[in-house]
Amino acid sequence: DQQVKQNSPSLSVQEGRISILNCDYTNSMFDYFLWYKKYPAEGPTFLISISSIKDKNEDGRFTVFLNKSAKHLSLHIVPSQPGDSAVYFCAASRGYGKLTFGQGTILTVHP
Amino acid sequence: DTGVSQDPRHKITKRGQNVTFRCDPISEHNRLYWYRQTLGQGPEFLTYFQNEAQLEKSRLLSDRFSAERPKGSFSTLEIQRTEQGDSAMYLCASSDSILYGYTFGSGTRLTVV
């Protein structure tokens, strides 16, 4: 049972434009949501999080939006840079517990 | 403190052998997690500790897998009688708050031949 899903395996964006990565979840008990970035041969790196009491959180070029009724979250990167090219994972947890990850989306930002 | 350290980075072993991995978390983090990642998939939860107590184990963690965190510091993950299906990246993470995410190590890549 895949409780966190990233339905787009890959996304290609031009440098300077917006990247939008999407994630859906099925477990209504999840109350924290996180995004990670992963480069090859490295562990995932934390980007940004949001709790279920909010619908938006910003950190520099990164903004996460949460739509609880649709059980959907998205990560916006503006403007996109070639160094943002990586695999992006969304993850969810119930309280301060284990993270459940999606399958990942490969983002490629072209110069 | 330079982050979460995992040792070794790579391990090649023959089927049927036992292997042990080590994780050194960020020193002030009380929680430590083990995940497994295979190609094209997101990390899958295996187990986690709060201090020295193992609080949860995944159904993925068969009786061939065991994890310890003596004295609430470093942790070890042992796989007995390895199988080819155990080939994966084994990731360790530590945290002291959900809002700041979990800090992952670079992982141990296991190849069972």
Tokens 């490629």, residue?
A108
pLDDT > 90: percent of chain B: 80
- Could you read off the pLDDT of B82-92 as tens digits, one per residue? 999 999 999 99
Give the separation between CA A45 and CA A37, rounded to whole angstroms.
Answer: 5
Q: Which residues contact A41 (CB under 8 A, 6 or more apart)?
A: B106
pLDDT at A97 over 90: no
- Tell which of A1, A21, A45, A99 to mutate to test the B interface (max B CBs under 10 Å): A99
In Å, how far is A38's CA from the nearest CA of chain B? 10
Cis? peptide before A111, omega within 30° of 0: no
Q: In the structure encoding, which two tokens stand for residue B53, read together?
A: 């107590």
B45 close to A98: Cβ distance less than 8 angstroms: yes
A104: left (phi over 0), alpha (psi -120 to 50) or beta: left
* The pLDDT of residue B62: 83
- Could you read off the pLDDT of B18-40 as tens digits, one per residue? 999 999 999 989 999 999 999 98
Average model confidence (pLDDT) across chain A? 95
Interface of B with A (CB under 8 A): 4, 31, 33, 35, 40-45, 48, 56, 91, 93, 97-107
B59: left (phi over 0), alpha (psi -120 to 50) or beta: alpha
* The pLDDT of residue B109: 97
* The pLDDT of residue B101: 84
pLDDT at B1 over 60: no
- Could you read off the pLDDT of A12-54 as tens digits, one per residue? 999 999 999 999 999 999 999 999 999 988 899 999 999 999 9
Nearest to A43 among B31, B91, B99 (CB): B91
A95 close to A31: Cβ distance less than 8 angstroms: yes
